[in-house]
Amino acid sequence: MKVYHFMTSRDLKSISYAFIVNDINIYLPDNEDECFIAEKLLCTECNSPWHTSLLECYFCGELNYYLYLCTVCGKKYSITNSNVKCSCGDSNSKLIKACVNEKCPTNTNAIIKNLAKEEKGVFDLNSTLNLSLTYCVKCGSTTNHYATFKIFVLNGRFNESFDLYLSNHPVFEGDVILFKNEIDGKIMYDYSIYDPKMNFEPSFKYNKIKQITDELFFHKKR
């Protein structure tokens, strides 16, 4: 019978960092040192990542494309060049972080347009004319949800019965058990969403944590 042991705190941190690298939020549960919580905000309709770091225009919903726009001629420049001046040479020219949607009220309505100029553009750091993304950039849905898993990690250096460990530790239905093993000099992984009614034998078919996070969070609605 194969036996497993749960990983050391150092090894567990290494796996949790791999989740972080793949843009998964990680939390450590209180009074538990053999697992971590993995969480990601997803679109309810298409299960794509929900980009809370993106900003949208309050008036039209257009995304922030990180561009400067000349208030005179409308030419656009990347904000990575902070010293740029518009080539139009007009003395009234100002570069603001404007909404790029030409039909947006910030570009068509005189009163709102002047307000946007006063705030140095819709997407200026201190502007009140933007808000965090309220829709999915892939499908347009306005609903989202958090996919959350408790992750336990088992190492292939076998010294403890898997069944014995499960009987003595708080692994519950729906928790994820991630298996790690060295095979032919390569680190391989497998995982199972724990169901006490099912037997699972890891086949170690994954060579990257990203393959697991993609399946857990993005390929299926759970």
The second-level CATH assignment, the architecture, of 5-49+142-218 is 3-Layer(aba) Sandwich (3.40)
Query: Which residues belong to CATH 3.40.1350.10 in the chain?
Result: 5-49+142-218
* Cα–Cα distance measured from residue 154 to residue 27, given in angstroms and rounded to the nearest whole number: 19
Q: Which pLDDT score is estimated for 30?
A: 84
Kindly indicate the confidence band of residue 154, based on its pLDDT and cuts at 50, 70 and 90. Answer: confident
- Average pLDDT score over the chain: 87
Mean pLDDT of all residues in 124-146:
95
The CB density around residue 179, as the number of other CB atoms within 10 Å, is: 22
Q: Which pLDDT score is estimated for 157?
A: 53
Q: Which pLDDT score is estimated for 109?
A: 97
Kindly indicate the confidence band of residue 103, based on its pLDDT and cuts at 50, 70 and 90. Answer: very high
**Residue linked to tokens 């928790």:** 175
Exposure string of 113-129, with b = 16+ CB inside 10 Å and e = fewer, is bebbeebbbbbeeebeb
Q: Which pLDDT score is estimated for 165?
A: 67
Mean pLDDT of all residues in 196-213:
89
Q: Which pLDDT score is estimated for 3?
A: 43
Instruction: Give the neighbor-by-neighbor strand order of the sheet with 95-96.
Output: 76-78, 67-70, 95-96
